[in-house]
Structure 1
């Protein structure tokens, strides 16, 4: 799709699927993990801490494709996370915890200025600070104790279309996020504000700072219940539910 065309809301799940696959493939390459590409899904098989990530790319997988995914889950070295933006494939037989979150779409448009200092990450110091913010905010105990570069390898900054942003309060990194541009769409991941900095506008600031370079593009994301009001206030609209599964 060209970035100057207007996407229909029903297209959002497919473009979210494509963008998340691009992001996780980039993450897998940067970590040196195995990236598995199929017509209907992409998987990144990592170690005992990173685990296995599965990203469904088409609505409704066939029995053979589900069987392949089942095999990957059984062989996973660590935790398992899977997402289906179409909510059309049943993976409940895997015995994983499941829930739904909305895929949201923001059409191209003006973006306000952030109230806090927001910067694109350029070096390892800011990258490790962003990494710590995400681990803390999302409760990613699998990555504790913290090993700098394990969640966000320095090589991730060299991946085309991938940018990491940090927001600062009084010179201290108080929030972070990742934006990805792929095939004319933008998307956001790991929008994080540790509890010590919440209710101070950090999430809004880091979103505004990272949305600025994407103002000319349609942007998708998958929203948590807590994050949805913020995204709606920034012009995102819920489209369809995405189903997620996780081993823990």
Structure 2
């Protein structure tokens, strides 16, 4: 068997997470050569998910397979991730969103945090004047037995119902996930997801208040980092960095993989992540389109 490239490692992690979630929910799945699809249940607020995992030998043939599946599933809401720029779904009513770098970090020590900068006179915080706060990453897991908090910010692995609820709320409000506002417990992260083996939830608190969160998925070969979010009023304080550092320290022997947002990419590069490809995200329906009819699937 050919060794997987770093990009393939990241693709497989993303696909594997959705397939695992489908197993918890009882959702139908379908896989082909170089792709995996999940038919998220109606009423869950989740689009049907498709992840391309390998570069197709014949893009036209792959497009035909996927379109046939969408019609079979009566797909009315779709999210498809193509890290190879292989398919063009625009003629089927899909919209291409902003491309996102797919990044991978090899195992290794987490770079030390650069010194903070004090806020400008009057307390203004801007691109060159970030409020200085004491930050410490504290990982609390089954093997840790708890840990004392040092400094103003702590990062814990969410374990209690209250902590898991805080993770979900911060992700919805901090990302933000507009269709899920106002936040409602279990609407974004159902209870079954929270206890899925390989999935871990991380919560950052500032002076005891939840301010940041993310989720990680360990598939045995890599650890994927998803939903890195900080509440708007607490950004530019190094909180996202401490979340990432906690995940990396909890998985010292695993490559880490993620898809970077425009705002997050500089941080990930500083932490040692390297771009392996650029993913095109296709969604259906496109912005401004009306609700599709029963035969309008792409």
Shift of 1:69: 4.1
Cα deviations by residue, 1:183-204 (Å, 9 ceiling, x for unpaired): 4111110011120211111111
Change (3 A) 1:92 1:130: same
Q: Which residue of 2 aligns with 1:242?
A: 279
In structure 1, what is the Cα distance between the partners aligned to 2:190 and 2:215?
13
Instruction: Indicate the SS of the match to 1:187.
Output: strand
Cα deviations by residue, 1:40-61 (Å, 9 ceiling, x for unpaired): 2222423342232222233225
Instruction: Indicate the SS of the match to 1:205.
Output: helix
Aligned residue pair count: 238
Instruction: Indicate the SS of the match to 1:165.
Output: strand
**Consecutive unaligned residues in structure 1, runs of 5 or more:** 2-6
Shift of 1:175: 0.6
Deviates more, 1:106-115 or 1:215-224: 106-115
Q: Which residue of 2 aligns with 1:56?
A: 52
Give the TM-score normalised by structure 1. 0.86
Cα deviations by residue, 1:106-158 (Å, 9 ceiling, x for unpaired): 01101256373111111221111111111112221222332211211222132
2:29 counterpart of 1:36: yes
In structure 2, what is the Cα distance between the partners aligned to 1:119 and 1:20?
23
Instruction: Indicate the SS of the match to 1:220.
Output: strand
Cα deviations by residue, 1:48-95 (Å, 9 ceiling, x for unpaired): 42232222233225244222343267533xx42221123222222332
Q: Which residue of 2 aligns with 1:120?
A: 157
Residues 81-230 of structure 1 mapped to structure 2, 5 A cutoff: 81-98=79-96, 99-111=98-110, 112=112, 114=137, 116-230=153-267
Deviates more, 1:80-89 or 1:120-129: 80-89
Q: CA RMSD in A?
A: 2.3
Shift of 1:33: 5.2
In structure 1, what is the Cα distance between the partners aligned to 2:6 and 2:92?
27
In structure 1, what is the Cα distance between the partners aligned to 2:204 and 2:78?
30
Q: Which residue of 1 aligns with 2:14?
A: 20
Which structure shows the higher helix fraction? 1
Deviates more, 1:229-238 or 1:147-156: 147-156
**Consecutive unaligned residues in structure 2, runs of 5 or more:** 113-135, 138-150, 288-298
In structure 2, what is the Cα distance between the partners aligned to 1:73 and 1:200?
45
In structure 2, what is the Cα distance between the partners aligned to 1:209 and 1:67?
41
In structure 1, what is the Cα distance between the partners aligned to 2:72 and 2:79?
12
Q: Is the 8 A contact 2:229 2:240 kept in 1?
A: yes
In structure 2, what is the Cα distance between the partners aligned to 1:137 and 1:95?
30
Which structure shows the higher strand fraction? 1
